[in-house]
Amino acid sequence: MAELTTLREAVAGLVRDGDTVALEGFTHLIPTLAGHEIIRQQRRDLTLARMTPDLVYDQMIGMGVARKLVFSWGGNPGVGSLHRFRDAVENGWPCPLEVDEHSHAGMANRYVAGASHLPFGVLRGYQGSSLAVKSETISRVTCPFTGEELAAVAALNPDVAVIHAQRADRAGNVQLWGILGVQKEAVMAADRSIVTVEEVVDELDPRPGAVVLPSWVVTAVAHVPGGAHPSYASGYSKRDNAFYSEWDAVSRDRDTFTRWMAEHVLEPVGGSAR
């Protein structure tokens, strides 16, 4: 059963140096404040997995948390580059960053295989793409029934999955709705999971299109309202588009970035102090 705890305790107990950690959320419900807690607790040598590394991974990479990134699209949506990610890949700052790079379809199927406890996922894809040449987690497999050659992608089974959801009840059942991304797959593929939620309620009444993760597939639930900012939680908050634009200037320069992180993330302030 999921334990209702604080974000600080959840990260302290469940995220270890060297782990493969997946913070998922496809534009919507990005667990930003959980990422900040991992930064504050100075985890090192993590393999960070995420389909769409955006600002939270830019911050984690820039703060030296990651050794490797497993991903399919790393940019600042609607704005441009992730400067800390680029600096790490291009110049090894603050430390070298290895990459294992996929397409979205490949990453999604890696999570599905992981959640299914299968060794690999199957898709039609990667034909002729340099991605297949570069990645050791992309191969080919022949269908035993039709003889068709298909792409095989290694299952992705993170040590820890971290997601943000709208609500949980007091028993730790988690409910999320709107754009669902691969959060359910990431949680079910992972050995352990942390879910931050906007709200803890007595009872989860039905919502259209909602997914419920039963308490017994989740390890820890923490009440972190606003935990997805500058992303959003449908029904609770709007996407802070201005923050995404402003991040471009903050992250472009190493010193400006370091100062910003010291001021807004390392010093426990407001919502991040939980």
Residues that bind other proteins (CB under 8 A): 26-28, 51-52, 71-75, 77-78, 81-82, 85-86, 89-91, 101-105, 108-109, 111-112, 123-131, 148-149, 178-182, 184-185, 209, 232, 234, 238-242, 244
Is the Cβ of residue 244 or residue 260 nearer to other proteins in the bound state?
244
Cα–Cα distance, 81 to 97 (Å, whole number): 16
Cα–Cα distance, 9 to 243 (Å, whole number): 28
Side-chain-side CA neighbours of 1 within 13 Å: the count stands at: 7
Structure tokens at 207: 């919502």
Residue 17 CB, shortest distance to other proteins, in Å, is 26
With 0-12 / 13-18 / 19 or more C-beta atoms within 10 angstroms meaning exposed / middle / buried, residue 240 is middle
Residue 123 CB, shortest distance to other proteins, in Å, is 6
Is the Cβ of residue 6 or residue 139 nearer to other proteins in the bound state?
139
Is the Cβ of residue 152 or residue 222 nearer to other proteins in the bound state?
152
In the chain, the largest separation of any two C-alpha atoms, in whole Å, equals 59
Is the Cβ of residue 4 or residue 55 nearer to other proteins in the bound state?
55
Residue 211 CB, shortest distance to other proteins, in Å, is 8
Is the Cβ of residue 40 or residue 167 nearer to other proteins in the bound state?
167
Q: Among candidates 22, 267, 2, which has minimal Cα distance to 163?
A: 22
Cα–Cα distance, 125 to 132 (Å, whole number): 9
Residue 209 CB, shortest distance to other proteins, in Å, is 6
Residue 262 CB, shortest distance to other proteins, in Å, is 25
How far lies 153's CA from each of 6, 108, 246, in Å? 35, 10, 36
